[in-house]
Amino acid sequence: MREFSRSLPMLLLRGREAVMRHFRPLLRAHGLSEQQWRILRALSAVDAIEVTELAHDAFLLGPSLSRILRDLESRKLLARKTAREDQRRSMVSITPKGVKLIETVGPFSEAIYAEIARRYGGAQLGELQDLLRTLDDSLSAMPVRHAAGAVDSDADFGSTRRRK
């Protein structure tokens, strides 16, 4: 088994944390969580989007998204309406107040990006972004193998596999 500090999940988490520690204070200063910012950024790129597509784009689970949408809607940063073609679906769009918040936070966010690029190297940052996109594309096409067959049935390992 590979060394813990060299495991891909840990390296990705450490990299994410290294980046986000610079953005969190900015977001907090504007009353936003990381997830709320992701939603507003996703909405700023479209006229309107269906809720399940937004969940996919912002990489959020449905229950979390519902709570966040309620909060952003109560703050008048987004608007929700029923889709014309299917009354069961909900469409979401950013409001002028949400756009104004993006325009306020955006320059500070870009300054953080510029500092990251300066320290890490602009070309290296672009290469890293390309590599991460390629990783995502490659692994998205890879079938997910369920671990049920790999679970040790020894009681000492606390197997969750049901016994007959």
In a domain, residue 102? The reply is yes
In a domain, residue 104? The reply is yes
Per-residue pLDDT tens, the chain, 164 aa: give them.
889 888 999 999 999 999 999 999 999 999 999 999 999 999 999 999 999 999 999 999 988 999 999 999 999 999 999 877 777 788 999 999 999 999 999 999 999 999 999 999 999 999 999 999 999 999 999 998 876 665 555 555 555 545 44
In a domain, residue 158? The reply is no
CATH code of the domain covering residue 125: 1.10.10.10
- Total domain count for the chain? 1
Q: How buried is residue 41: exposed, middle or buried, by Cβ count under 10 Å (0-12/13-18/19+)?
A: middle
In a domain, residue 62? The reply is yes
Place of tokens 């450490």: 14
CA quadruple 59, 61, 64, 68: dihedral, nearest 10: 40
Domain span at residue 127 reads: 7-137
Report the run of H or E that residue 94 belongs to, with start and end: strand 90-94
Q: Residue 93 in contact with residue 78, Cβ under 8 Å?
A: yes
Q: How buried is residue 31: exposed, middle or buried, by Cβ count under 10 Å (0-12/13-18/19+)?
A: exposed
Instruction: Provide the CA 96 distance to its chain's centre, in angstroms.
Output: 23
